[in-house]
Amino acid sequence: MRERGDPSTIARMVLRGVGSVVLFFFFLSPAGALAQRRAASATPEALAEQCGPAHADACARAGVAYETGEGVGADLSRAADLYRRGCSAHHAESCRRIGVMYLVGNAAVTVDRAQARIFLQTACEAHEGEACFQIARLYERELAGDSEDFVTARRWLERSCTESYWQACTHLGEQLAPSDGDHERRDAATFLGRACQGRATSFDPPSCWMFGDMLAEGRGIAQDLPRAARMYERACEHDELDGCERLGALLREGGSGVRADVTRARRYLTRACEAGDHASACNDLGLLDEAEGDSERAAAYYTNACEHGEPIGCSNLGHLHETGAEGVPVDLPGAITLYTRGCEGGDGGGCVSLGLLYEEGRGVERNVAHAVEWFSRACSHFDQLGCVNLGRMAEDGRGRPQSYADAVRLYQTACDQSELLGCTMLGLLYESGHGVTADLVRARALHQQACDAGDQLGCANLGVLYEEARGIDRDVRRALRLYQTACDAHELYGCTRLGLLYRSGTGVTADDARAVALFTQACDGGDLRGCNALGYMLEHARSVPEDAARAATLYQSACDGGILAGCSSLGTLYTRGAGVPHDPSRAVPLFDRACNGGNMLACSNLGSLYETGSGVAAVSMRRASDLYLRACTGGEMRGCFNMARIYESGALSTAPSLDRARQYYTQACSGGYAPACEHTTVGTTPTPAPTPPSE
């Protein structure tokens, strides 16, 4: 049983109005060849006269002239008749051309796909590759949805490709390239490579940039950027502007085996951009100009890209208006409009930028719920930075319910997709044990992975592990190097951590002025932990004049941005009335938020308020002791000290418990809280007073 469309079945059918098809082709004699050469310069009328078994190619040439009206009045009926005569004389091109007429129809030929299939089959059997391609397209168009017929269509495409009709190879490659299957991707690369390389004088230029994409991405074939560049260049040389655009983008950034070459990149990108329908090339030109400091020219290219439908161009133009630059004034409303246009056009980066503006309240009223919506939209556009920011909001419980499980999932997904910030954020969860089992080895591996790949926040977080000897031997010098490298690369958290070392004199000579400069650099750049640290220096007049009011503002910003230490520090100011009104009741929710978020000092501070009845409805020694114990268990030695006091005073029972008190004093002393060391011999010194809220 033969399948529908089997070549040997159709080849035996009878052509309507032509007679039996005999698949017999012959070589011309020398005399025949001479006649053919003479025919090359003949008029359409003369060619039509010559059309016959001895001069079958004249049929096709005359038919083309009458079909197109080139050199003679257009006459579709005569063209069709000439093609039929040529086909009956075993001329493959003539069979293909009359087949196409039946396929698409015209004033002289009614659409008849069955007849078209017969003529095209005859031509294909005679090694006319384009005819094989047309049969495949016929199956694709006419029988869409029937999986069996798609298999048949592919068989015809493969035959067409084998006959060196390169467009068929390209078509096959296009169909297979998006597949997730390794086998299909390998086939796609094979077909596209065949179409591009073809022969010296014959190949399909669009296949070259498609093959270049597979080489550049390592899909279905080993990654090979130099070869990809050659494929793009070959496409570009034959006026395939997709090739010019891709080659320009590759040369702009460079890569393994491809040296960045801004001059050549600009030449290729300009060619594509000026054609008017390659907006991403205009965007890349904007990136080149922005990198070279010509923001005004960059804005012009981004505008061009945006107006021609490139959403990333809109977002990049929005960024210029958000930050401001020479020739481009700050315009936050304009930036928001452009980010919105970019986001709605499918650019996840525009969505992320909108989310950050709503989170920070810049140019719009602060609204973390809206920020979550934009981050979620970015993530749905497969922008992994959007997923990381959405995970951050899930982790902090801002703008949506807190869910460490969601944060873990989002960070892991981003990390798996090579978004390095996702890796280091996931590492932080493995440090804290939130949403996962605490695993400092895994945390270090994730920070190291991010750092090794160039993510400087990963390097800074790795430095923290070395500084604090968490899951690894303490190495302050290495931490210092990691912080310095991160800070030099404009990772502001690295600057903050470096400033903390200078503030404490850990691993370096103490230098408050240097610390203030680093905290200021970090804070001005948007690192809220730097703002919190700068607030501490202002509150305590460390190398700067005391300014508790400004410290309160910085703490508030840090707290609003999810820095729990900022909440605790602001709460301490309210208990003292420094820079803000004296109002311990306003400190209670600040300490509570920070404590519940994992800031153990805030737990101890809140315990102090419950012990003294300050800012709360009534004294509660039970609540105070629970908070002190929580702080102590979490590693905050003030909590251990306060637990010791509670046991020494007997506040929780009818009699003191000196053994328990001694245990907690010793723990606090061993943990570095010096005041506890004076009380390790319980009973020889007076029970100390409650520790006031502190930083």
The predicted structure's pLDDT at residue 6: 40
pLDDT in tens, 443-455: 999 999 999 999 9
Q: Which long-range contacts (CB under 8 A, 24 or more apart) does 210-216 make?
A: 210/170, 210/173, 210/174, 210/177, 211/173, 212/243, 212/246, 213/177, 213/246, 214/177, 214/185, 214/188, 214/189, 215/189, 216/246, 216/250, 216/255
The predicted structure's pLDDT at residue 691: 75
Q: What distance in Å separates the CA atoms of residue 21 and residue 11, rounded to the nearest whole number?
A: 7
The sign of the dihedral angle between the CA atoms of 287, 290, 292, 297 is: positive
Q: Is the pLDDT of residue 299 over 90?
A: yes
Instruction: Name the pLDDT band for 148 (thresholds 50, 70, 90).
Output: low
The predicted structure's pLDDT at residue 201: 65
State the alpha helices, DSSP H only, in 4-146: 7-10, 30-39, 44-50, 56-68, 76-88, 92-104, 113-125, 129-142
User: Quick one: CA torsion of 494, 499, 504, 506, rounded to 10 degrees?
Assistant: 50
Q: 156 with 140: CB under 8 angstroms?
A: no
Q: Identify the DSSP state of 53.
A: G
Q: Compute the C-alpha angle 681/686/692, nearest 5°.
A: 105
Lowest model confidence (mean pLDDT) among 20-34, 187-201, 320-334, 516-530: 20-34
| Average confidence score pLDDT of the chain | 90
What residue ranges do the domains of the chain occupy? 1-163, 587-695
Give the tokens for residue 326.
């020479």
CATH fold for domain 587-695: 1.25.40
Q: What distance in Å separates the CA atoms of residue 551 and residue 555, rounded to the nearest whole number?
A: 6
Instruction: Name the pLDDT band for 15 (thresholds 50, 70, 90).
Output: very low
Read off the pLDDT of each residue in 667-681 and give the average, rounded to a whole number: 91
Neighbours of 614 (CB within 10 A): 17
Distance of CA 434 to the CA centre of its chain: 26
pLDDT in tens, 427-439: 999 999 999 999 9
Angle in degrees, 0-180, between the axes of helices 528-539 and 492-504, rounded to the nearest 10: 30
Q: Is the pLDDT of residue 147 over 60?
A: no
Neighbours of 46 (CB within 10 A): 14
Instruction: Name the pLDDT band for 277 (thresholds 50, 70, 90).
Output: confident
Read off the pLDDT of each residue in 596-620 and give the average, rounded to a whole number: 94
- Nearest-CA neighbor of 202 among 130, 277, 131? 130
Buried b (16+ CB within 10 A) or exposed e, 265-292: bbebbbbbbeeeebbbbbbbbbbbbbee
Q: Report helix, strand or coil for 258.
A: strand
Q: What distance in Å separates the CA atoms of residue 367 and residue 144, rounded to the nearest whole number?
A: 49
Query: What percent of the residues of the chain are helix, what percent strand, and what percent coil, each to the nearest 5?
Result: 70, 0, 30
Q: Which residue has the higher pLDDT, 83 or 692?
A: 83
- Nearest-CA neighbor of 391 among 346, 428, 441? 428
> In this prediction, what percent of the chain has a pLDDT beyond 70?
92
- Nearest-CA neighbor of 407 among 428, 435, 431, 432? 435
Lowest model confidence (mean pLDDT) among 64-68, 176-180, 330-334, 494-498: 176-180
Instruction: Name the pLDDT band for 142 (thresholds 50, 70, 90).
Output: low
> Which stretch of DSSP H or E encloses residue 290?
helix 279-291
pLDDT in tens, 185-204: 999 999 999 999 876 568 99
Q: Report helix, strand or coil for 188.
A: helix
Q: What distance in Å separates the CA atoms of residue 389 and residue 373, rounded to the nearest whole number?
A: 11
Residue that has been written with the tokens 């556009």 in this structure? 381
The sign of the dihedral angle between the CA atoms of 101, 102, 105, 107 is: positive
Q: 622 with 610: CB under 8 angstroms?
A: no
Neighbours of 510 (CB within 10 A): 12
Give the tokens for residue 524.
């001005």
Instruction: Name the pLDDT band for 675 (thresholds 50, 70, 90).
Output: very high
Read off the pLDDT of each residue in 266-275 and give the average, rounded to a whole number: 96
Q: What distance in Å separates the CA atoms of residue 214 and residue 543, rounded to the nearest whole number?
A: 58
The predicted structure's pLDDT at residue 200: 58
1-163 and 587-695 share one fold: yes
Instruction: Name the pLDDT band for 14 (thresholds 50, 70, 90).
Output: very low
Q: Report helix, strand or coil for 563.
A: coil
Q: What distance in Å separates the CA atoms of residue 4 and residue 13, rounded to the nearest whole number?
A: 13
Give the class (CATH, top level) of 1-163. Answer: mainly alpha
Read off the pLDDT of each residue in 17-44 and give the average, rounded to a whole number: 47
Read off the pLDDT of each residue in 195-224 and give the average, rounded to a whole number: 91
Read off the pLDDT of each residue in 134-144 and give the average, rounded to a whole number: 77
Please state the three-class secondary structure of 483-517 as a single string.
HHHHHHCCCHHHHHHHHHHHHHCCCCCCCHHHHHH
The predicted structure's pLDDT at residue 8: 36
Q: 644 with 661: CB under 8 angstroms?
A: yes
Distance of CA 694 to the CA centre of its chain: 43
Measured in degrees and rounded to the nearest 5, phi and psi for residue 679 equal: -120, 15
Q: Is the pLDDT of residue 10 over 60?
A: no
Q: Identify the DSSP state of 325.
A: B
The amino acid at residue 655 is A
Neighbours of 453 (CB within 10 A): 11
Give the tokens for residue 95.
């069979």
